[in-house]
Amino acid sequence: MSETAGSRAASLAHLRSDGLTRGDPIPLPLTMAAIFHTPGDSTGFNQYGRFSNPTWDALEEVLSHLEGAPTVGFPSGMAAISAVFFALLKAGDRVLLPADGYHATRALAERFLKPFGVAYDERPTATFLDGGFDGYSLVFVETPSNPRLDICDIAAVAAATRKAGARFVVDNTTMTPFGQRPLDLGADIVVAADTKAPNGHSDVLFGHVASRDEAVVAAVREWRQAAGAIPGPFEAWLLHRGLETLEVRFDRMCSSAETIARRLQAHKAITGLRYPGLEGDPSHNLARAQMERFGFLVSFELATEAKAEAFIDGCALMHSTTSFGGVHTSAERRSKRGDAVPPGFVRLSVGCEPVEELWKAIETSLEAAER
């Protein structure tokens, strides 16, 4: 890895400097435009809002800088995943998905890939290498998986999929480019929901596809233009602003999550706690090898659905909400979204609150829920 997280973060805020002339605004201007001034020969500049937009370009420059690869923006994480599927797959192809990853990816395959003649199989993240990858044209993993935080070996899957002739996609949403670098570990494509930590303020949906394979980037770009699944310039502008503080937020969130995971694990009301950063966690050795940080998600179980609900609702510094990665700590009882987990299973997304205050609120609510 030539660039470190520190050097990437430091230069991120100054990427625009080279293009500035005297009197230009330092922050990114927002260009709300469906049409552009297009006299004469129509190549080499902005033509129409479905084809290109200067605010997208600036955002994609930042995302590309973070990923270390050409990157294409989409209006949501699912739009980015859809673009990979529909731009790269054809009838007769077979896809391998994580059995325990984000549910909407499997739903998309079931409802929309299958009728187009693209079959899919599912495999648990923790044993993803078992069975090999022969016969697949696209292999998709999410590591750590959401919500159980199992991990698979990205470099090993990359080597095996390359041998099998499959394209290897990693959904890196839970880690962000500051926490894990799948392309450097050999993945062909990264997809991510910037809706989560990258934007961080829970006010925008966004997604991206990154790849060092020019044909992949060209295909998803063409898909975006043809399908019309384009990001709004204002959403791109908001994400651009969010990304300027991603490194600071992510650092705080991961540090706090390590502290809180340790204390939760020692708490008598908690069982089945998973956090890749804890020495005893089944994911720990692999996490140390392939992740730059251990993330901000912690999962665990309380004894009953009622206790889990009381804990989440009763915590003064926690929002009860789906999604994760925001500046505010949030949690959700995942069985209510249909994940195959026990009723008292909680996914906690540690936010940016000062950690001692956050822990005090968590401890107080845990005790109240036990009463």
For ligand PLP, give the closer residue by CB, 89 or 97: 97
Which of these segments, 53-61, 167-175, 339-347, 356-364, binds ligand PLP (CB under 6 A)? 167-175
Q: Which of 142, 184, 247, 281 binds ligand PLP (CB under 6 A)?
A: 142
Q: Which residue is nearest to ligand PLP (CB)?
A: 77
3-state SS, residue 121 = strand
Regarding 125 and contact with ligand PLP (CB under 6 A), the answer is no
Which of these segments, 6-14, 19-27, 88-96, 171-179, binds ligand PLP (CB under 6 A)? 171-179
Specify the amino acid at residue 143: T
**Roughly how many angstroms between the first and final C-alpha of the chain, as a whole number?**
51
Q: How many residues sit close enough to ligand PLP to count as binding (CB under 6 A)? A: 14
Of the candidates 93, 126, 133, 128, the one whose C-alpha atom is nearest the C-alpha of residue 109 is 93
Which of these segments, 156-164, 168-176, 221-229, 327-335, binds ligand PLP (CB under 6 A)? 168-176
371 contact partners, CB below 8 Å, separation of at least 6: none
Give the distance, in angstroms, between the CA of residue 22 and the centroid of all CA atoms in the same chain: 37
Which of these segments, 192-200, 230-238, 247-255, 297-305, binds ligand PLP (CB under 6 A)? 192-200
Q: How many CB atoms lie within 10 A of CB 340?
A: 12
Give the distance, in angstroms, between the CA of residue 21 and the centroid of all CA atoms in the same chain: 35
DSSP secondary-structure letter at 341? S
Q: Which of 76, 137, 143, 349 binds ligand PLP (CB under 6 A)?
A: 76
Regarding 77 and contact with ligand PLP (CB under 6 A), the answer is yes
Regarding 332 and contact with ligand PLP (CB under 6 A), the answer is no
Regarding 78 and contact with ligand PLP (CB under 6 A), the answer is yes
Specify the amino acid at residue 369: A
| Nearest approach, Cβ of residue 174 and ligand PLP (Å) | 6
| Nearest approach, Cβ of residue 145 and ligand PLP (Å) | 8
Residue reference for tokens 């908690």: 270
Q: Which of 60, 67, 171, 353 binds ligand PLP (CB under 6 A)?
A: 171
Contact 192, 173 (CB under 8 A): yes
Which of these segments, 110-118, 189-197, 219-227, 240-248, binds ligand PLP (CB under 6 A)? 189-197
Regarding 330 and contact with ligand PLP (CB under 6 A), the answer is no
For ligand PLP, give the closer residue by CB, 59 or 205: 205
Regarding 349 and contact with ligand PLP (CB under 6 A), the answer is no
- Give the span between the Cα atoms of 210 and 188, in whole angstroms: 9
For ligand PLP, give the closer residue by CB, 228 or 280: 228
| Nearest approach, Cβ of residue 47 and ligand PLP (Å) | 28
Where do the H-state alpha helices sit in 228-333?
233-243, 246-265, 284-290, 305-314
Angle at 348 between CA 301 and CA 355, to 5 degrees: 120
- Give the span between the Cα atoms of 340 and 148, in whole angstroms: 10
Q: Which of 96, 158, 205, 261 binds ligand PLP (CB under 6 A)?
A: 205
Angle at 207 between CA 109 and CA 204, to 5 degrees: 120
Give the distance, in angstroms, between the CA of residue 237 and the centroid of all CA atoms in the same chain: 19
Which of these segments, 24-32, 71-79, 109-117, 307-315, binds ligand PLP (CB under 6 A)? 71-79
Regarding 173 and contact with ligand PLP (CB under 6 A), the answer is yes
Of the candidates 156, 139, 159, 154, the one whose C-alpha atom is nearest the C-alpha of residue 98 is 139
User: CA distances (Å), 244 to each of 2, 5, 131, 229, in order?
Assistant: 21, 13, 42, 25
Regarding 102 and contact with ligand PLP (CB under 6 A), the answer is yes
| Nearest approach, Cβ of residue 193 and ligand PLP (Å) | 3
For ligand PLP, give the closer residue by CB, 102 or 294: 102
Q: Which of 146, 176, 299, 349 binds ligand PLP (CB under 6 A)?
A: 146
State the residues that interact with ligand PLP by CB under 6 A: 76-78, 102, 142, 146, 171, 173-174, 193, 195-196, 205, 207
